[in-house]
Chains A and B, each alone.
Chain A
Amino acid sequence: MLWNTQTYTGWGRALSAEGELARPERAAALAGLVTHPAIGARRSYGDACLNSKGSAVDMSRLDRVLSFDVSTGLVEAEAGAPIGELARLFAPMGWMPTVMPGTGFATVGGCIAMDVHGKNHHVDGSFGSHVTAIKLMVNGKPRTITPKRNAALFKATIGGLGQTGIIASATLQMSRCEGTGMEVTEQRAENWEEHIALLSSSQARYTVGWLDCTAKGKNLGRGIVEEARSTAVRPQSSHKGGSKSVPFNFPRFTLSKAMVSGFNKAYYLRIRDGGQTRIKPLEEFFFPLDKIHNWNRLYGKSGFHQFQCVLPDDKLPELRAMVETIAQSGLASPLAVLKRLGSDAAGVMSFPMQGYTLAVDFRESEKARKLIKKLNAATLAAGGRIYFAKDSLATEAEAKAMYPDWAAWAAEVNKADPEHTFETDLTRRLGLRSI
């Protein structure tokens, strides 16, 4: 049976859509479905993966590895292949995807559509910079596009929110790795200044800061900075354990102020004063939450929002003020991330810019929405931008001001999709294709 009517959501679960979904199992079945937007693992948080005005194609069963060359590290995979699966398969042979987002469940197609970044963005750039070819479905047939031969269409497809058409498969240049282990060094940062100093001076290929958004006053900006490199040392098996699942929606008190602040304090104090170095399995470093399936249920039935912005390097005081506002609000969850980004952005609508990115979760509530709207405005005022993979609350005016090249992108996209068949709730909400 081709179509199934479902109510479905993004990872944040605060927004939902009802519509018909198809889930082709074979490329031949996809060929008949190319006039609907594609969705992947639905790991984007807001409405980028929703189409409440129509139908969508769930790409998760088109997940085959089509070719792999162990001498060059080039891999071609169908769009529904999870990025973490590529790491699992090829790390033992010395290759892993050059850029991996915070969840291994994100699909190759999704990583392209969002031009995702990883903990190594300051060194290796964004996902799209390592895509050497894309097979895009055009009029029911796959057409190969490359950065050289089809520069404009390619740049509109990378970070292009799926608007140029269904991505059938893509070829990625992976990077050499030593094995399946990561040597991870964790250090405490006592406050904002120390946190930024550690992030900016880090020489590691992989760097990420965990931020305690409940710490105030002299502790503001407190957190842990993780630096890592690939290692041939085998991780201890004690970390293995099976994956766990959150079986139901948690009640509201689970993430109450007291619980969050207590959790954060304990998490912080777990790191020894002088820092510590451990060997972790690759997936545990890159995808720390993937072991807990459905962790989004921790936020209860009504779901949550993630606010993620990037501000330019010279706007650190503004970023600090945002963190202060968040701390004062008492609305933040334990999961906040602070990262340095480099200047590389492979697509016209790519999120990354040289500077610092902050990502914070808020359980859905009117107060939280108000706060996020305030943070969105502050981001724009500071010359930064928010991440479409996370957004559900920005306004059209804000989005267009944050992404000044949107009109050029829209022109290219509207050429590829004159009927606007690939529009999603996000592109409609932000009017990204109405020139």
Chain B
Amino acid sequence: MTQDSKDTWIILGASSSMARAFVRRLAEDGHGLILTGRDKDDLARIAADCKARGASSATNFPIDARDAATFAPILTHASGLEGQLSCAVFLGSMPDQSEIDADPSLIDGVIADSFTGPAQFLQLLAPQMEARGGGTVVGIGSVAGDRGRLGNYVYGAAKAGFATYLSGLRNRMGRSGVHVMTVKPGPVDTAMTWGLGKQPFMTTSEGVAGDILKGLKKQRNTVYTAGIWRLVMLVIRNIPEPIFKKMSI
């Protein structure tokens, strides 16, 4: 780890399967954890799990990406902590594209959960991190954000927006010694994909967690996980639009 083990990590969306695998690794390294999410009971369970695994502290706060009022208590709590502060964003939602077709107003929620909510939070957190002169931001994007596709282009658009935001944040925060890393997972074996059956180049939550930590160690800007997706998306991004628009991949 590049971080001092006394760092505290703020986790947005700690109940997600990927977040849980990641916080376990952080806990075993002795980090402090601020876990946020919507399922209060589950946050308490994850906090207990992390403490048993060696987290130096684990507190939890409710958060709703669509309600900026839930951000303030977390930020206030964080401002009272010593040492470096880091933040990992696992928030996001992906309704079926067909549900969105039936009710386009769902788009607001997807954008808020996957992009604007986390972006607002990070925007509020940024001055604190800059003042501390270090720490890391990890943002979970998606390979779906690399090109709009038939099956999930609203979700993809939200993730693309978030990735662009992270790219700008990286540009800003790098000046103060804060590293911003964008993570783009392909299909991951989680509750979201359960029921879809085996997906191409599917990885596990533990695999994602390992790739994030490896990426942090190497101070990478963008990490694809599984790693093969970097290549796959390079190809997909370079398919000429006249051909791509006729494909359904």
Q: Does B81 contact A (CB under 8 A)?
A: no
Query: Are B49 and A64 in touch, CB under 8 angstroms?
Result: yes
Query: Are B195 and A1 in touch, CB under 8 angstroms?
Result: yes
Q: Does B45 contact A (CB under 8 A)?
A: yes
Q: In the bound complex, how far is the Cα of B191 from the Cα of A1, in angstroms?
A: 6
Chain A window 12-54, contacts with chain B (Cβ cutoff 8 Å), 1 for yes, 0 for no? 0000000000011111110000000000000000000000000
Q: Does B108 contact A (CB under 8 A)?
A: no
Q: Does B230 contact A (CB under 8 A)?
A: no
| From B39, B45, B190, B195, contact of A2 by CB (8 A) | B195
Q: Does B53 contact A (CB under 8 A)?
A: yes
Among residues 71 to 121 in chain A, which have CB atoms less than 8 Å away from a CB atom of chain B?
75, 78, 89
Q: Does B52 contact A (CB under 8 A)?
A: yes
- Kindly provide the distance from the CB of B180 to the nearest chain A CB, expressed in whole angstroms: 28
Residue of B190, B193, B194 with most chain A CB atoms under a 10 A cut-off: B194
Q: In the bound complex, how far is the Cα of B20 from the Cα of A408, in angstroms?
A: 42
Query: Are B17 and A67 in touch, CB under 8 angstroms?
Result: no
Q: In the bound complex, how far is the Cα of B53 from the Cα of A75, in angstroms?
A: 12
Chain B window 32-51, contacts with chain A (Cβ cutoff 8 Å), 1 for yes, 0 for no? 00000001011001101101
Chain B window 43-68, contacts with chain A (Cβ cutoff 8 Å), 1 for yes, 0 for no? 00110110111000000000000000
Q: Does A65 contact B (CB under 8 A)?
A: yes
Q: A66-B45, A68-B52 are in contact. Are A25 and B190 (CB under 8 A)?
A: yes
- Kindly provide the distance from the CB of A2 to the nearest chain B CB, expressed in whole angstroms: 7
Whose C-beta in chain B lies nearest to the C-beta of A3?
B195
Q: In the bound complex, how far is the Cα of B48 from the Cα of A78, in angstroms?
A: 11
Prevailing SS type, chain A contact patch: mixed
| From A28, A65, A78, contact of B53 by CB (8 A) | A65
Query: Are B48 and A67 in touch, CB under 8 angstroms?
Result: yes
Q: Does B240 contact A (CB under 8 A)?
A: no
Query: Are B194 and A23 in touch, CB under 8 angstroms?
Result: yes
- Kindly provide the distance from the CB of B67 to the nearest chain A CB, expressed in whole angstroms: 20
Q: In the bound complex, how far is the Cα of B197 from the Cα of A29, in angstroms?
A: 20
Query: Are B195 and A4 in touch, CB under 8 angstroms?
Result: yes
Q: Does A61 contact B (CB under 8 A)?
A: yes
B-chain residues with CB within 8 Å of residue A89 when the two chains form the complex? 52-53
Query: Are B15 and A26 in touch, CB under 8 angstroms?
Result: yes
Q: In the bound complex, how far is the Cα of B52 from the Cα of A61, in angstroms?
A: 17
B-chain residues with CB within 8 Å of residue A28 when the two chains form the complex? 39, 41-42
Among residues 165 to 218 in chain B, which have CB atoms less than 8 Å away from a CB atom of chain A?
190-197
Query: Are A4 and B197 in touch, CB under 8 angstroms?
Result: yes
- Kindly provide the distance from the CB of B196 to the nearest chain A CB, expressed in whole angstroms: 7
B-chain residues with CB within 8 Å of residue A68 when the two chains form the complex? 51-52
B-chain residues with CB within 8 Å of residue A67 when the two chains form the complex? 48, 52
Q: In the bound complex, how far is the Cα of B42 from the Cα of A276, in angstroms?
A: 49
B-chain residues with CB within 8 Å of residue A25 when the two chains form the complex? 15, 17, 20, 190-191
Query: Are B41 and A27 in touch, CB under 8 angstroms?
Result: yes
Query: Are B42 and A27 in touch, CB under 8 angstroms?
Result: yes
Q: In the bound complex, how far is the Cα of B193 from the Cα of A24, in angstroms?
A: 12
A-chain residues with CB within 8 Å of residue B17 when the two chains form the complex? 25, 61
Whose C-beta in chain A lies nearest to the C-beta of B49?
A64
Query: Are B46 and A64 in touch, CB under 8 angstroms?
Result: yes
Query: Are A64 and B15 in touch, CB under 8 angstroms?
Result: no
- Kindly provide the distance from the CB of B204 to the nearest chain A CB, expressed in whole angstroms: 11
- Kindly provide the distance from the CB of B40 to the nearest chain A CB, expressed in whole angstroms: 10
Q: In the bound complex, how far is the Cα of B195 from the Cα of A37, in angstroms?
A: 19
Query: Are B195 and A66 in touch, CB under 8 angstroms?
Result: no
A-chain residues with CB within 8 Å of residue B196 when the two chains form the complex? 1, 4
Residue of A23, A26, A61 with most chain B CB atoms under a 10 A cut-off: A26
Whose C-beta in chain B lies nearest to the C-beta of A67?
B48
A-chain residues with CB within 8 Å of residue B194 when the two chains form the complex? 1-2, 4, 23
Whose C-beta in chain A lies nearest to the C-beta of B48?
A66
Query: Are B195 and A26 in touch, CB under 8 angstroms?
Result: no
Q: In the bound complex, how far is the Cα of B195 from the Cα of A207, in angstroms?
A: 44
B-chain residues with CB within 8 Å of residue A27 when the two chains form the complex? 41-42, 45
Whose C-beta in chain A lies nearest to the C-beta of B195?
A1
Query: Are B42 and A66 in touch, CB under 8 angstroms?
Result: no
- Kindly provide the distance from the CB of B34 to the nearest chain A CB, expressed in whole angstroms: 18
A-chain residues with CB within 8 Å of residue B52 when the two chains form the complex? 65, 67-68, 75, 89
Whose C-beta in chain A lies nearest to the C-beta of B192?
A1
B-chain residues with CB within 8 Å of residue A29 when the two chains form the complex? 191
Query: Are B195 and A64 in touch, CB under 8 angstroms?
Result: no
- Kindly provide the distance from the CB of A356 to the nearest chain B CB, expressed in whole angstroms: 38
Whose C-beta in chain B lies nearest to the C-beta of A21?
B194
Whose C-beta in chain B lies nearest to the C-beta of A66?
B48
- Kindly provide the distance from the CB of B16 to the nearest chain A CB, expressed in whole angstroms: 8
Q: In the bound complex, how far is the Cα of B53 from the Cα of A28, in angstroms?
A: 23
- Kindly provide the distance from the CB of B166 to the nearest chain A CB, expressed in whole angstroms: 26
Q: In the bound complex, how far is the Cα of B214 from the Cα of A96, in angstroms?
A: 30
A-chain residues with CB within 8 Å of residue B48 when the two chains form the complex? 64-67
Whose C-beta in chain A lies nearest to the C-beta of B16?
A25
A-chain residues with CB within 8 Å of residue B53 when the two chains form the complex? 65, 89
B-chain residues with CB within 8 Å of residue A24 when the two chains form the complex? 191
A-chain residues with CB within 8 Å of residue B39 when the two chains form the complex? 26, 28
- Kindly provide the distance from the CB of B208 to the nearest chain A CB, expressed in whole angstroms: 14
A-chain residues with CB within 8 Å of residue B197 when the two chains form the complex? 4
Q: In the bound complex, how far is the Cα of B196 from the Cα of A66, in angstroms?
A: 31
Chain B window 153-166, contacts with chain A (Cβ cutoff 8 Å), 1 for yes, 0 for no? 00000000000000
- Kindly provide the distance from the CB of A74 to the nearest chain B CB, expressed in whole angstroms: 12
A-chain residues with CB within 8 Å of residue B192 when the two chains form the complex? 1
Q: In the bound complex, how far is the Cα of B82 from the Cα of A372, in angstroms?
A: 65
Q: In the bound complex, how far is the Cα of B192 from the Cα of A78, in angstroms?
A: 21
Binding site for A on B (CB under 8 A): 15, 17, 20, 39, 41-42, 45-46, 48-49, 51-53, 190-197
Binding site for B on A (CB under 8 A): 1-4, 23-29, 61, 64-68, 75, 78, 89
Knowing that A3-B195, A28-B42 are A-B contacts, what are 10 other residue pairs whose CB atoms are under 8 Å apart, sorted by A's residue number? A2-B195, A4-B194, A23-B191, A26-B15, A61-B191, A66-B45, A66-B49, A67-B48, A67-B52, A75-B52
- Rank and list the top 6 A-B pairs by shortest CB-CB distance, nearest first: A1-B195, A64-B49, A65-B52, A68-B52, A4-B195, A26-B42
A sample of 11 inter-chain contacts (CB < 8 A) reads A1-B194, A1-B196, A23-B194, A26-B15, A64-B48, A65-B48, A65-B52, A66-B45, A66-B48, A78-B45, A89-B53
